[in-house]
Amino acid sequence: MEDKNFKGHAALFTAYLIFGLNTPISKVVLSSGEVSAMALTFYRFAGALALFWIISLFTKKEHVPLRDIFFLLIASLFGILLNQMLFIIGLSLTSPIDASVITTLSPVLTMILAAFFLGEPITWKKVIGVFIGAAGALLLIQNSNTVGHGNTNLIGNLLCISSSLSFAIYLTAFKKLISRYSPITSMKWMFLFATIFSVPLCGNDVVAVNYLAIPFDIYLRIAFVVVFATFISYLFIPIGQKVLRPTVLSMYNYLQPIVSSLVAVALGLDVFGLTKGAATFLVFLGVYVVTQSKSRAQIEAEKQQN
């Protein structure tokens, strides 16, 4: 189990490291004016769909009963369609820093929903860990010297909040379903449904793009969003989802502002000082405290022993 937990943490660390890079990269693509939020969303869905189905041809086939295919359809609405579409549209209407702040809500929402859907206890350790991590993320964001000065839009912020809520529902309500299948099997079906649903919503925007006018560097950023921030990340998330509790998984949202800040330091746009060091420490301390909290299974096992 410890080995599985390590793999789960490693997979989530990688996925959310990529997500942290995705926010500024997606913002550059949207700010270029060449590609709309809806078009970029469709590229993510269709690109990941193609990659998951291609790789599934070279992996062991798993039988998925019709009942589970239906539930994978519902899971795709919350975990992919609503999550990504609401976030990318919200990001186009608000600043990257506001979007980063809003991601700190995800572990709180997930903790509450895990109690509702899975009966996971809301322990003091879990509450303290969540808020220690949030304090670290907010400290980093508040003191960032590289905050974008884009217009803050209430609707954009609300859409980003709705995106976090949608993903929190996915992490909790569909944990058992996702645990039954390999990441490739579950994702190939989920991205199939997400792509189908997105066609009437995104089709006009995709057709309207002037592809000959898109600069090469924007194409490279779109490729990163599709291959790494969608395909690779969604390949790794189910690995952690199988073995880790939803609140632990959602704590990795706090990596995103840290990654954005470190990228700025690497590019010489910011410096790594005491504040960033303290913020990073708080985030990882929060993750550690949450992982030390007891699950429902552990509490029930202790009651039986007593």
- Looking at residue 270, its pLDDT comes to 57
Q: How would DSSP label each residue in 207-247?
A: HH--GGGS-HHHHHHHHHHHIIIIIIHHHHHHHHHHHS-HH
Tell me the C-alpha to C-alpha distance, in Å, between residue 49 and each of 45, 194, 196: 6, 9, 10
Domain ranges of the chain: 2-119+149-245
- Looking at residue 241, its pLDDT comes to 87
Q: What are phi and psi of 216, to 5 degrees?
A: -60, -40
Residue 217: count of CB within 10 angstroms of its CB: 11
Cβ(209)–Cβ(77) below 8 Å: no
Find the length of the chain. Answer: 306
pTM of the model: 0.80
- Looking at residue 132, its pLDDT comes to 85
The C-alpha angle with vertex 224 and arms to 223 and 226, in degrees rounded to 5, equals 65
Whole-angstrom distance, CA of residue 264 vs CA of residue 144: 10
Tell me the C-alpha to C-alpha distance, in Å, between residue 294 and each of 62, 244, 246, 288: 33, 12, 13, 12
Per-residue confidence of the chain (306 residues) as pLDDT tens digits?
Answer: 567 788 999 999 999 889 888 877 887 898 899 999 899 999 999 999 999 999 999 999 999 999 999 999 999 999 999 998 898 888 778 766 666 667 767 777 788 888 888 787 778 888 888 888 778 777 766 665 544 444 456 788 788 878 988 998 998 899 899 999 999 999 999 999 999 999 999 999 999 999 999 999 999 999 999 999 999 999 999 999 888 888 788 778 777 777 766 776 676 655 667 776 787 788 778 777 776 776 666 556 556 665
Cβ-count burial of 254 within 10 angstroms (0-12 exposed, 13-18 middle, 19+ buried)? buried
- Looking at residue 146, its pLDDT comes to 45
Tell me the C-alpha to C-alpha distance, in Å, between residue 178 and each of 16, 76, 124, 152, 194: 19, 11, 28, 36, 16
Bin 149: left if φ > 0, else alpha if -120 < ψ < 50, else beta: alpha
Whole-angstrom distance, CA of residue 116 vs CA of residue 126: 15
Q: Quick one: which H or E segment has residue 230?
A: none
- Looking at residue 141, its pLDDT comes to 63
In this structure, what token pair is assigned to residue 237? 């998330």
Whole-angstrom distance, CA of residue 252 vs CA of residue 141: 16
Spell out the residues 6+ positions from residue 121 whose beta carbon is closer than 8 angstroms to its own: 115, 294, 295, 296, 299
Tell me the C-alpha to C-alpha distance, in Å, between residue 104 and each of 9, 109, 110, 297: 19, 9, 11, 27
